[in-house]
Amino acid sequence: MDRHTTVPPAVIKKMAARATEASAKLENRQVPANHVRSDGVKQLLAQPRTDPR
């Protein structure tokens, strides 16, 4: 019996989003539902990360 399964990337992304939202709620730093990111922030997030985290 093989206990290892492959989790689809979409499921991983959904799990990460839920965990991030729950963490923000616990720390009282929720983002309003109608918040729109600025163009500068979108460009920053689109760049590949260079730090080895």
Cα angle: 28, vertex 10, 51; to 5 degrees? 65
Give the containing element (helix H, strand E) for 9.
helix 9-26
Sign of dihedral through CA atoms 33, 35, 31, 14?
A: positive
Q: What is the model's pLDDT at position 49?
A: 83
Which residues of the chain, if any, have pLDDT below 50? none
* Phi–psi pair at 50, nearest 5 degrees: -110, -15
Q: What is the pTM of this model?
A: 0.51
- Two tokens at 36? 């729109």
Would you tell me how many other CB atoms lie within 10 Å of the CB of residue 9?
Answer: 8
Q: What is the model's pLDDT at position 10?
A: 95
Q: What is the model's pLDDT at position 4?
A: 86
